[in-house]
Structure 1
């Protein structure tokens, strides 16, 4: 019983960490979105910077929404995050693996890992197991949403780099083709 209690505390710690990361994502993207919007309405920026800021604002807005979605009081994020997949590493301390198990599987695996006889199982064990699994799935969903939000911010920030590389390549191709550029 003590092992299940420890794992539940561990999973809850990962869940708190995931929520803190998403809070930072929301704060960062929100502040950057506000700063980008303030710059966008400024009269002193060129059209290229204005175009970049428009793209950046779209990506930052999407990242902000993604971060906010992680705070919805939902126990199933199946619309946003796919169901947990099988994990090769059968680590009973890793929330990603725990999220793939049923409560009966989890109790059995714990009893096996602790070399405890089945007679030591009581009605409270499946309740702990169910809470561990639910919290593991919520933590996994929050981490997935955080990853998507960070990817959106990176995509928004890299838009001018990729655009610049494409313009440079097009300019060189045009120069090679017709000598202009």
Structure 2
């Protein structure tokens, strides 16, 4: 297909709109939440977008609600042989992704750009956070240390321009 751009020059279309791809330096996520799945406590959250009504709500309320959905699904499947876990919830323009390791549950609210990339990013964030704070996560007593809160600056490195080089695990953030 050939379309005309604003200056009436011929341009070639690839069969989709580039405007829908979020190719700018905007983040793929509206927010990411780190939750202790045993207590339901919000360990850390980071909002990346001011353009979503989701991010206007209280972080603790959102974290508790996302954990409650997870607990509800676990309760529904309590008698099943295989433990079903919620992986994602899809909406028209966004999705909620769940990743887990030990007691840690990382939940990302994405802009629904590319599921494999979003899942890979969230999984890498989960592994990096868990590796750095495993002892504090597995022995969580309700106190969230400054080192965990400082991890928020690392989350701000999740720009889509860095997608091809997801080097989250071995980098320093302090």
Query: So what's the TM-score if we normalise by structure 2?
Result: 0.23
More helix by share: 1
For the pair shown, the structure with the greater C-alpha radius of gyration is 1
TM-score (norm 1): 0.23
Q: Return the structure number with greater relative CO, CA threshold 8 A, min gap 6.
A: 1
> Which structure is higher in strand share?
2
